[in-house]
Amino acid sequence: MTPDTQNPLQSLDVWEEDVLTRYPEPFTKAKDDYRNYDEPGRDTVREFYRLNHTYQTYDFVLAKEQEYLKFDKKEMPVWQAFDFLNTLVDDSDPDTDLDQWQHLLQTSEAIRADGHPDWFVLVGLMHDMGKVLCLFGEPQWAVVGDTFPVGCAHSDSIVYPEYFDANPDAKDERYNTKYGVYEPNCGLRNVHMSWGHDEYVYQMMKDSLPEEGLYMLRYHSFYAQHREHAYDHLMDEHDHKMFEWVKKFNPYDLYSKVPTPPNWKELRPYYEELVAKYLPGTLKF
């Protein structure tokens, strides 16, 4: 595949806008409009998920974990890492003039305004840091998108489930049953998720945040579960308890975008202190 065919979205934000279309703020759309994938404007999203569902296999995920979870690609101070992330800004995106940093800051500020603990605010600030995978040459379909377990049958609750027909795992007896390589209610800690920015940032931050925050990072794109409850059979009691925090985080990610950016000059002292409290001076990628 060429870079263009690997990366059908004009901007990574297109996927987030599509998620917002599927799951709008409560009471802003009619129920029948919540999951409309037939609009012509969704062609790039449809192609994105065709690629995602075709190539996100169990073996692919294990290979990416082996490749990236060594964190030997780059090392940067935290604030330099945000500058690095901002090089993902795409001038062709018609929906927003805000860069990745502005979205993260808006999310964290909305969390802070509601009086949540400071580690929760930090989750808002860091939750999309894993998108730097694109800057290491990963195609969009291996960075963003709704996530799902690999190594077991794909749920029909996942967006565009018909595209899994082209996934080799769908025809592999090891992976195409309800439980696949897993045991009933084995716990998500034992389940491999499709590869992308959620798992990457979770692994990056797993020694720095409380478990509640780590669940938010790891599963904030796992819509088939936290919106559709499609994988209860793999979750244990602890997962269900922690997913209440995932559900608390989701609205801040989706609905905090506003046209006016936060005043970074005024906010900087708070966030510098917050980052220094929880994170090392440099991050490894």
Please write the tens of the pLDDT for every residue from 136-186. Answer: 999 999 999 999 999 999 999 999 999 999 999 999 999 999 999 999 999
Residue with the two structure tokens 């980052």: 275
Residue 93: what pLDDT?
Answer: 35
Residue with the two structure tokens 């600030």: 125
Please give the Cα distance from 81 to 90 (Å, whole number): 18
Closest CA to 252 of 88, 27, 91, 16: 16
| Single pTM value for the model | 0.88
Tell me the per-residue pLDDT of 259-280, one tens digit each, with 9 for 90 and over.
677 899 999 999 999 999 999 9
Residue 101: what pLDDT?
Answer: 85
Cα–Cα distances in angstroms (integers) from residue 197 to residues 80, 200, 258, in the given order: 18, 5, 23
Please give the Cα distance from 234 to 156 (Å, whole number): 16
Residue 30: what pLDDT?
Answer: 43
Closest CA to 133 of 64, 236, 220: 64
**Range among 19-23, 40-44, 134-138, 210-214 with highest mean pLDDT value:** 210-214
Q: Could you tell me the pLDDT band of residue 14, with boundaries at 50, 70 and 90?
A: confident
- Which tokens sit at 240? 């269900």
Residue 77 phi, psi (nearest 5): -60, 155
Residue 254: what pLDDT?
Answer: 84
Please give the Cα distance from 251 to 23 (Å, whole number): 10
Q: Is 99 helix (H, G, I), strand (E, B) or coil?
A: coil
Residue 53: what pLDDT?
Answer: 98
Rg (CA), the chain: 18
Residue 75 phi, psi (nearest 5): -135, 130
CA dihedral sign of residues 56, 161, 14, 202: negative
Q: Above 80 in pLDDT, residue 135?
A: yes
Q: Above 80 in pLDDT, residue 232?
A: yes
Q: How many domains does the chain have?
A: 1
Q: Above 80 in pLDDT, residue 116?
A: yes
Range of the domain at 108: 3-284
Q: Could you tell me the pLDDT band of residue 95, with boundaries at 50, 70 and 90?
A: very low
